[in-house]
Structure 1
Amino acid sequence: MKNNSIKYSYIFSFFLLVGLTSCESLLEVELPSSELSSATVYASDATAEAAVNGIYQSMVTLTYYNSLHIIPGQTSDELLPVSLIENVYTTNEIPITDGTNGSMWTEFYKTIYNANAVIEGITASKTLTEAKSTRFVAEAKFIRAFCYFYLTNLYGDVPLVLSTSVEKSSLAPRNTQTEVYNQINIDLEDASNNLPVNYSNYTNQRIRATKWTAQALLARVNLYLGKWTEASTYASAVISQNGTYKMINGLTATNSPFIADNTEAIWQIPYFNTAYTYEGGATFTAPNAATQIGGTFILRKSATLFETDDARKTNWTVPIKSSAGVSIGIGPRKYKNSYTTAPVERSTVLRLAELYLIRAEARAKLNDITGAQQDINVIRNRALLASTTLTDPNQLLDLIALERQREFFGEFGHRWFDLKRTGKADEVLGIIPAKIWAATDKLYPIPETATRSNPFLTQNEGYY
């Protein structure tokens, strides 16, 4: 791991990141102008909560609102630049010196560092309210688990850093993916047991973790591990909270899973001091409304991905033409807000549709055909598609994979991870002409800056 990443100054980041509290009106804290010590930060519930809020705001970076959408989207069979010019991501030829890949690695470990600092600081404090300190630690553990989930799915074996000790972390070797997943489960179980059951502590904004946020991620983790019963159980626990979570009826620009605090949202990341999202304004830009020229990406399977009249195609994509005015496909346009005040959207990290599709897959694996059909149909009917009548488990699994591709295109690496975890990556990506595909491409390279600063940090196979 890059040494200067681990040395990221927590106290400095506290000053930078505490802005979350004022922007979201969650907490009013007047900080002293002098340098804060860790003991001062964790002397009161108010400043401790500001530090927790700082972890969330540390996630408002290029990694979380951009790289996790567009890099896995291009390395899979999902996204192409509108220029149609291939790059190191679309060809799966990411060099170890690539800056965007390096930034993802660094930003994840910065967030983990902040989470570890909160866990250590609150645990050592003797002055905090017990209930609040328990909740704050649970939030930090949830975020740490989230970061490790992405790190291990992007890079495989990664250093498991559970403290702020530079001596321990700067020369940490890679832990096995099994060890990383074990820690993810420990953190999420602890978070689930100690997080609130609703958003009332957060002024009813869905921007911080609850028990159901942790259980939603546990459902995903168990699905990835092939633990079908557990995945179904966790998904059901979240779905059953129908007083809080409901599927949206009638997708529109102002009625979508990406609107702030909508009923499908389980966890969203806000962009502070703005009413727009970077997804809508900078990451997945829209073409010119009159000419349909412009935008940033098109879907590789523009012509074949959606069924006729699929509401997701109607509401979440836009037609795009080349500079010569020739149609080249459709582009992702889930987020509608381009630097304006409406609709108010947030980057939506966890949402209810995923839980239905997780449970559908788990049920199909457990040969619960009726249950799998019911869950698939919740998603299909919301998209104005007819209910499935398939009864063969393998056909249902193929349909679930397709519905996941339709539902989550351009979102947080879902398609990239799905191809890898289901063993389909070589089959699907190996036949795309522009890709220089090798089996080792299923993992991204460890950044060169990280391996150079840590002699115990080995490189993934296939990268030199």
Structure 2
Amino acid sequence: MKNNSIKYTYIFSFFLLMGLTGCDEMLEVEIPKNQLSSSVIFESDNTAEATVNGIYQSMAAGTAFNSLIHQIPGETSDELILRTQLTDVYNTNEIPDIDGSNNTMWTEFYKTVYNANNAIEGLTKSSALTPAKTLNWIAEAKFIRAYCYFYMTNMWGDVPLVLTTDVEKSALAPRNTQSEVYAQIITDLTEAAKDLPVNYSNYASNQRIRATKWAAEALLARVNLYLGNWTQAEAHAALVINETGTYKMITGLTASNSPFIADNTESILQIPYNIRAFTYEGSSVFPAAGKYILRKGTSLFENGDARRTNWTDPVAGTAFLAPRKYKNAFGTTPVERSTVLRLAELYLIRAEARVKLNNVTGAQQDINVIRNRALLSSTALTNPASLLDLIALERERELFSEFGHRWFDLKRTGKADQVLSAITSKIWASTDSLYPIPDPARRANPFLTQNSGY
């Protein structure tokens, strides 16, 4: 009886680690399946693949991966403000540990990690599946787990590294260091890259909606850039860029010819919204009416920049611009998908790595791919510091309102304090560079310490 009580305590603590406090929410993630149910799921290729595909669908079903991941980092950086220009806890950088949206992100990331762990364990134990397919599916789950941990460690710093569905091992897990988290991310992505398919032919109609080797390589390029591993960042980015038969930059930007259109040549990984004929980004997060506006407005762009023309809407009577990369609201044209990884980022990653490696000519070439696509002139800059400033600016112009890029760039380059403390509407402290560990998770787990400043 005592052992059962301890077990249920672990289970309850695990759900609270994930931020699930309501009964309905707790039902969304099942208690780890017993041996019989797991064997049923992983006894045929069809049900096993459905389980892996379901991880992507769970990412699309929540709000963390398709809205909050754009909104909150956008506000905590110098990128987005509310169109009303009213302040909130995000654009003032005063997020409390009881904040619901912060907790939702924590919850959904850990739910996705749990689903990935469940797939890895079930697939690894099964002997009833096609071996080659099993390797692909395990690799997909590892990619997704790494993707989640990349965002978690960049939002909250040190986080529990949960690699099992065993709640007795994970419910009261302490925080792992960011170095440990990054090491696991690199391990997962390296292993995934070996076993993921090299093209999209495994997926229905060659849709770019599940991970390939090149998605793992793209994320490895980003991770190594963040860690300052310039040689590795350049090499991983080059592997993707050199796949010219699959990937090429979009030119002549229009609503129907953009990197957010389904299965376009620049997309490396997209997430579909099941049967919905719209994207959340286009319909709810950055609608035509403009819920958010770019803090820097028209001053962010050079004259003639095609990204300003095609990816923003002017706010009448002001110098502000509303992000409008996704045009898909509640209609069916154009057909877009949430674009998780795309080729332009890889050129910018390689450009930055090349500057750090003293390859100025190569860096210029990569920067000019991005600038020329935006109908801007090629750069003639040769000074490394000036080139890095230009790359940072082009990242800001190219990746605005996407997946927290600006927020993470300010932090990884050590510029957050300088840039954000100068904004008068912010109540900035250096400790604001990490979000608070959600209160529900900490109340359940005495080993889950809080970030400084909260």
2: CA distance, partners of 1:368 / 1:335: 35
Q: Report if aligned partners of 2:17, 2:444 keep a CA contact under 8 Å in 1.
A: no
Q: Does 1:334 align with 2:335?
A: no
Which residue of structure 1 lines up, in the alignment, with residue 420 of structure 2? 429
2: CA distance, partners of 1:36 / 1:285: 46
2: CA distance, partners of 1:429 / 1:11: 38
Which residue of structure 1 lines up, in the alignment, with residue 9 of structure 2? none
Q: Report if aligned partners of 1:158, 1:177 keep a CA contact under 8 Å in 2.
A: yes
Offset of 1:342 from its aligned partner? 0.8
Q: How does 1:268-347 map to 2 (within 5 A)?
A: 268-287=270-289, 295-321=290-316, 326-327=317-318, 329-347=320-338
Which residue of structure 2 lines up, in the alignment, with residue 187 of structure 1? 188
2: CA distance, partners of 1:297 / 1:133: 43
TM-score (norm 2): 0.93
Which residue of structure 1 lines up, in the alignment, with residue 161 of structure 2? 160
Q: Which amino acid aligns with 1:319?
A: P
Q: Deviations over 1:150-208 (max 9, x none)?
A: 00000000000000011111100000000000000000000000001000001200000
Instruction: Kindly tell me the number of residue pairs found equivalent between the two proteins.
Output: 433
Of the candidates 406, 417, 426, which is equivalent to residue 415 of structure 1? 406
Q: Which amino acid aligns with 2:136?
A: R
**What secondary structure sits across from 1:348 in the alignment?**
strand
Offset of 1:303 from its aligned partner? 2.8
Q: Deviations over 1:39-80 (max 9, x none)?
A: 100000110000000111111110011000000000000001
1: CA distance, partners of 2:412 / 2:355: 16
Which residue of structure 1 lines up, in the alignment, with residue 51 of structure 2? 51
Distance change in 2, residues 1:106/1:405 (3 Å): same
Which residue of structure 2 lines up, in the alignment, with residue 71 of structure 1? 72
Q: Which amino acid aligns with 1:282?
A: S
2: CA distance, partners of 1:351 / 1:391: 27
Q: Which amino acid aligns with 1:256?
A: S
Which residue of structure 1 lines up, in the alignment, with residue 267 of structure 2? 265
**What secondary structure sits across from 1:360 in the alignment?**
helix
Q: Report if aligned partners of 1:6, 1:166 keep a CA contact under 8 Å in 2.
A: no
Which residue of structure 2 lines up, in the alignment, with residue 102 of structure 1? 103
Q: Which amino acid aligns with 2:435?
A: Y
1: CA distance, partners of 2:17 / 2:378: 50
2: CA distance, partners of 1:284 / 1:351: 19
Q: Which amino acid aligns with 1:408?
A: L
Where structure 1 has 5 or more consecutive residues not aligned to the other structure, the ranges are 16-34, 288-294
Q: Which amino acid aligns with 2:71?
A: I
1: CA distance, partners of 2:194 / 2:200: 15
Offset of 1:276 from its aligned partner? 1.1
Q: Does 1:379 align with 2:390?
A: no
1: CA distance, partners of 2:214 / 2:382: 31
**What secondary structure sits across from 2:300 in the alignment?**
coil
1: CA distance, partners of 2:307 / 2:184: 36
1: CA distance, partners of 2:245 / 2:26: 40
**What secondary structure sits across from 1:266 in the alignment?**
strand
**What secondary structure sits across from 1:201 in the alignment?**
coil
Identical-pair percentage? 66
Q: Which amino acid aligns with 2:50?
A: A
Offset of 1:3 from its aligned partner? 2.6
Q: Report if aligned partners of 2:298, 2:319 keep a CA contact under 8 Å in 1.
A: no
Which residue of structure 2 lines up, in the alignment, with residue 29 of structure 1? none
Q: Report if aligned partners of 1:2, 1:449 keep a CA contact under 8 Å in 2.
A: no
Which residue of structure 2 lines up, in the alignment, with residue 292 of structure 1? none
**What secondary structure sits across from 2:298 in the alignment?**
coil
**What secondary structure sits across from 1:331 in the alignment?**
strand
Q: Report if aligned partners of 2:116, 2:141 keep a CA contact under 8 Å in 1.
A: yes
Q: How does 1:216-227 map to 2 (within 5 A)?
A: 216-227=218-229
Q: How does 1:13-28 map to 2 (within 5 A)?
A: none
Distance change in 2, residues 1:233/1:2 (3 Å): farther
1: CA distance, partners of 2:140 / 2:100: 30
Q: Which amino acid aligns with 1:301?
A: K
**What secondary structure sits across from 1:80 in the alignment?**
strand
Q: Does 1:389 align with 2:384?
A: no
1: CA distance, partners of 2:314 / 2:362: 36
Q: Report if aligned partners of 1:212, 1:238 keep a CA contact under 8 Å in 2.
A: yes
1: CA distance, partners of 2:16 / 2:239: 37
**What secondary structure sits across from 1:163 in the alignment?**
coil
**What secondary structure sits across from 2:297 in the alignment?**
coil
**What secondary structure sits across from 1:318 in the alignment?**
strand
Where structure 2 has 5 or more consecutive residues not aligned to the other structure, the ranges are 1-11
Q: Deviations over 1:241-295 (max 9, x none)?
A: 00000001100000000000000000001111112101000100112xxxxxxx2
1: CA distance, partners of 2:86 / 2:27: 41
Distance change in 2, residues 1:360/1:385 (3 Å): same
Q: Report if aligned partners of 2:253, 2:306 keep a CA contact under 8 Å in 1.
A: yes
TM-score (norm 1): 0.91
Q: Which amino acid aligns with 1:37?
A: S
Q: Report if aligned partners of 2:15, 2:26 keep a CA contact under 8 Å in 1.
A: no
1: CA distance, partners of 2:86 / 2:237: 40
Q: Report if aligned partners of 1:2, 1:451 keep a CA contact under 8 Å in 2.
A: no
Query: What's the Cα RMSD here?
Result: 1.8
Bigger helix fraction: 2
Which residue of structure 2 lines up, in the alignment, with residue 400 of structure 1? 391
Of the candidates 423, 437, 440, which is equivalent to residue 446 of structure 1? 437
Q: Which amino acid aligns with 1:4?
A: F
Distance change in 2, residues 1:298/1:117 (3 Å): same
Q: Which amino acid aligns with 1:320?
A: V
Q: Does 1:249 align with 2:251?
A: yes
Q: How does 1:76-91 map to 2 (within 5 A)?
A: 76-91=77-92
1: CA distance, partners of 2:422 / 2:13: 36
Q: Report if aligned partners of 1:353, 1:379 keep a CA contact under 8 Å in 2.
A: yes
1: CA distance, partners of 2:349 / 2:123: 35
**What secondary structure sits across from 1:53 in the alignment?**
helix
Q: Report if aligned partners of 1:154, 1:444 keep a CA contact under 8 Å in 2.
A: yes
Offset of 1:6 from its aligned partner? 6.3
1: CA distance, partners of 2:441 / 2:453: 17
Q: Report if aligned partners of 2:16, 2:440 keep a CA contact under 8 Å in 1.
A: no
Q: Does 1:117 align with 2:113?
A: no
Q: Does 1:367 align with 2:378?
A: no
1: CA distance, partners of 2:230 / 2:415: 19
Q: Which amino acid aligns with 1:307?
A: E
